[in-house]
Amino acid sequence: MASCPSCRRPVALARATCLYCGAALPPGSVSVAGTASASPPEAAAQGERRLVVLDVDGVPPETLARALDQSPYEAGLLVKRGGFHLLRVLEGASAEAEAGRLVASGLVVFLVPEAEARVRPLRALGGQRDEGALALRTGEGPVTLRRGDVRLVVRGAITREYQPASKPRRVDTARLEEGYRVHLHRRQDARAVEIDAFAFQFGVAVTGSARLELDAWVVAVAPGATVDEGFRRLPPALAPAGPEPGGALGAAGSLRLTTGSRRGGRDEGPSVLDNVEQFRFYSGWRAAVERRR
């Protein structure tokens, strides 16, 4: 970890100036945050695509505008939004070069291997809350989350729509209910635990609302964890909905969200689109950044 030569404070973030006093840092002390020891060796293979992620909290808009070749207005909106911003996905050498350029401009940059951001979550099908712990049932066996096990919570609404039919209907009034998913990123495991509020069997639901109950569980098991809700700011990128997990509730969901089932050569219903994969990708790279902070 480098130190600022002016104020002597340790500097772990990737920027060309001290975060605390603004003094210029020695060239050898400036590096890209989280690209070395924080990544598994196989994830840093030369040529693998990497995500270039910016931390825009507290960045002067004019600095961001110059670095990204944006108008001051666009940069100001991004700074006002705050948090982390996925700038682009590049091949290994190109990502390193782009990160170096941005760091030299005074920005905080994280490089995340794409494979790490796309690690599939572990779906939780049901469970119950005990004192300071969640006892969950997953497709791969039981999982227990205790208070302090969770590093990051990512949650967001899921957009669900019927795919437009090839032949227009006389009246199209059917609408799908908005979904709600939560990812619990553990400290000791790269796979997030994913809970779909409306396809999860709660042992005892005190609130009577699946979404409120799930939020109460998060408060109970992850009181000190970072909670990220930035997904709500992204425009939905819809794709065909995946199959629901097993179990009675999942079977009912599969009937409701069937993607173009057929009977006797006729379509029984329109295909369903959602942005679950977009949510998983966002959650994956956000967790990778959190591990490097």
pLDDT digit string (tens) for 160-190?
Answer: 999 887 666 655 556 789 999 999 999 999 9
Which residues have a Cβ under 8 Å from the Cβ of 110 and sit 6 or more positions away? 14, 32, 33, 34, 35, 52, 53, 54, 55, 84, 288, 289, 292
Per-residue confidence (pLDDT) for residue 243, from 0 to 100 = 80
More confident residue, 18 or 41: 18
Per-residue confidence (pLDDT) for residue 168, from 0 to 100 = 65
More confident residue, 208 or 26: 208
Q: What are phi and psi of 109, to 5 degrees?
A: -125, 140
Model confidence over 27-50: pLDDT tens digits? 444 445 534 333 443 444 556 999
Assign 132 a pLDDT band (cuts: 50, 70, 90): confident
* 279: pLDDT strictly greater than 90: yes
Per-residue confidence (pLDDT) for residue 37, from 0 to 100 = 30
- Decide: 119 and 186 in contact? Cβ < 8 Å: no
Can you tell me the distance from the alpha carbon of 228 to that of 236, in angstroms, rounded to the nearest whole number? 17
Model confidence over 56-109: pLDDT tens digits? 999 999 999 999 999 999 999 999 999 999 999 999 999 999 999 999 999 999
Report the mean per-residue pLDDT for the chain: 82
32-117 has CATH 3.30.1390 classification: yes
Within 13 Å, how many C-alpha atoms sit on residue 92's CB side? 9
Q: What are the domain boundaries of the chain?
A: 32-117, 122-292
Please state which of the ranges 4-8, 66-70, 285-289 shows the lowest mean pLDDT.
4-8
The pLDDT > 90 percentage for the chain reads 65
Assign 20 a pLDDT band (cuts: 50, 70, 90): very low
* 21: pLDDT strictly greater than 90: no
- Decide: 287 and 51 in contact? Cβ < 8 Å: no
